[in-house]
Structure 1
Amino acid sequence: MGSGNGAVRRQGVPADLARSWLLVNATQPDLITQAVRSSADAVVLDIEDAVDPSRKAEARDYVAAWLREEGNVAWVRINDYTTPFWRDDLEALRGAPGLLGVMLAKTESPEQITATHQILGGELPIVALVESALGIEDAALIARAPGAFRLAFGSGDFRRDTGMSADREAMAYPRARLVVASRAAGLPGPIDGPTVGESHPILREQSGITVMMGMTGKLCLSSDQTPVVNEVISPTRTDVSWASSFLQDFTARGEIVRDGSDLPRLGRARKIMALAEAFNVKPFDAE
């Protein structure tokens, strides 16, 4: 366990920009070691769905101890507010120096975020994992709750709750709700649900839908999914080249706005360049 196995999490992309959020079964130390060495922007140790109820206490204690070892940092997906495990999870994790924040499973109300935030001391960020019809309908309220940092889409449980299919058309509504709620609350873009299976072409296609819908992160179920997600969600070198050229031209003409299209393009260019810097994406002329 911990730094003795080289399981030290590197500091990298800020969590508000994190693209790949890798869920890791907290009862499998080898997977944790693999995860923290992967290209994932954020590692999330899972003590919720990935863990049988009979092993919840074991997983919780292991994660709490791991996060107290020097150099180990990660997020933790905790059990939902309505379960008997929720408070025990928070009590065990509170004060762990390596805890970056928690992902609250099956979030359905702002009060659940507020209570979680308070028990953790009112400082750590909370990713609200929205997985039901009720959660989607109250997404705007959840996004405004104290402690809410980003929204995430629990697409599999949402489909089970509603009977909706996985088609992009069927999933457009819940995704759009999360995107609009996040923007209205001033949060970073939401995190999309995971792609199940080992097909990278399907993962690439579904990550493209994530971007198309305005989401800026995606849950991952294995380390080998993370580079694909990172690539698709990052701005392309073509985008970066355009943004760089636009900003150079804007500066050269004394930052004079010529027409109504300049300000939207300026905002887009600045956003692309900020992401390019965070993700180390270079324009073509930088070679």
Structure 2
Amino acid sequence: MNRNDVAPEIARSWLLVNAAKPELFDEASASRADQIVLDVEDAVDPLLKAGARRDVASWLSQPGNEAWVRINDRSTEFWSDDVDVLKGLAGLRGVMLAKAEGAAHVTETFDRLGGATPVLALIESALGIEEAVAIARARGCFRLAFGSGDYRRDTGASADELAMAYPRSRLVVASRIGGLPGPIDGPTVGSAHRQLREQSEVTVSLGLTGKLCLHLEQLSVVNEVISPTSSDVAWARDFLADFEFRGGVVRDGSDLPRLGRARKIETLARAFNVEPA
């Protein structure tokens, strides 16, 4: 199992691992990734998908091995084989459904997997963004993620923060309406820490609570930026202590929002082992 083993509801870093390279699976599992995703979709040539699928199934069948799997989208010829091979595997934490564009894509995947395996919907197109609320409300949908690269190819949008603000915000709003955890942002290409840190800070500012990662070197930066800061934790614990000291009395209209924020920070701090400053 991965070292941090953070619950997928609050997982910050989601490491994509090429399923055609099974020699990488153990290293990824032992990494700082909150969750790992074995990728049998875009990372794998069509001629190699059957072999990659078998390698994933073999690895997930071994005791102690757990991961999510990014499967091919519902419209492809590969989807059916993906779900049939993965169904019932002990180590399968859930699937990341590529190019989700409607609620039916999620529900059909969920049902085909037996009705108990969570489906993380990867939204990668203009239609997917338009249908985001319906997707978030679909039976079996666990969380939303943003396939930013394919979205740009589909729409012609640039990677500029302003151009990407609308689809990201749309996923944040859809997740809230659907009662889901915060969405997962698309990856940063490259491992330059400054660029990765800046883009991760934008992720947090827009309300997304996780990020796809392409390299092991990205994990520590993503985990740090998406976690509460030490000063946040200090403020939260001071506020909660004061609130308890005064018997939980609400003094004004700002107390309840601050209480909610403090409790959220405290929960995440415990999960991520962040100590106050």
Q: What TM-score, normalized by structure 1, do the two folds share?
A: 0.95
Q: Which letter does structure 1 place at the counterpart of 2:106?
A: I
Q: Kindly, what percent of the aligned residue pairs are identical?
A: 65
- Structure 1 stretch displaced more, 28-37 or 86-95: 28-37
Any idea what the Cα deviations from partners look like across 1:121-180, whole Å, max 9, x if unmatched?
Answer: 100111100000000000000000001000000000000000000000000000000000
Q: Which letter does structure 2 place at the counterpart of 1:175?
A: R
Whether the 8 Å contact between 1:107 and 1:128 is mirrored in structure 2 is: yes
The answer as to 2:86 corresponding to 1:85 is: no
Whether the 8 Å contact between 2:119 and 2:143 is mirrored in structure 1 is: yes
**1:230 equivalent among 220, 223, 229:** 223
Query: Pairwise mapping of residues 255-274 of structure 1 onto structure 2 (< 5 A)?
Result: 255-274=248-267
After superposing on structure 2, the runs of 4+ consecutive aligned residues of structure 1 that deviate more than 2 Å are: 8-11
Structure 2 counterpart of 1:31: 24
Any idea what the Cα deviations from partners look like across 1:80-134, whole Å, max 9, x if unmatched?
Answer: 0000000100000001000000000000000000000001110011110000000
Secondary structure, aligned partner of 1:283: coil
Per-residue deviation at 1:9?
3.7
How large is the RMSD of aligned CA atoms in angstroms? 0.8
Query: Pairwise mapping of residues 104-253 of structure 1 onto structure 2 (< 5 A)?
Result: 104-253=97-246
The answer as to 2:54 corresponding to 1:61 is: yes
Any idea what the Cα deviations from partners look like across 1:17-71, whole Å, max 9, x if unmatched?
Answer: 0000000001112322221111000000000000000001000111011110111
The answer as to 2:93 corresponding to 1:100 is: yes
Structure 1 counterpart of 2:276: 283
Whether the 8 Å contact between 1:34 and 1:223 is mirrored in structure 2 is: no
Q: 1 CA distance for matches of 2:27 and 2:4?
A: 16
Structure 2 counterpart of 1:4: none
Q: 1 CA distance for matches of 2:23 and 2:123?
A: 29
Q: 1 CA distance for matches of 2:182 and 2:236?
A: 20
Aligned length: 277
Per-residue deviation at 1:197?
1.0
Any idea what the Cα deviations from partners look like across 1:200-235, whole Å, max 9, x if unmatched?
Answer: 110000000000000000000011111110000000
Whether the 8 Å contact between 1:130 and 1:152 is mirrored in structure 2 is: yes
Secondary structure, aligned partner of 1:246: helix
Whether the 8 Å contact between 2:12 and 2:210 is mirrored in structure 1 is: yes
Q: 2 CA distance for matches of 1:10 and 1:271?
A: 23
Q: 2 CA distance for matches of 1:261 and 1:11?
A: 35
Q: Which letter does structure 2 place at the counterpart of 1:26?
A: A
Q: 2 CA distance for matches of 1:193 and 1:36?
A: 20
Q: Which letter does structure 1 place at the counterpart of 2:48?
A: R
Secondary structure, aligned partner of 1:13: coil
Q: 1 CA distance for matches of 2:210 and 2:3?
A: 19
Whether the 8 Å contact between 1:9 and 1:71 is mirrored in structure 2 is: no
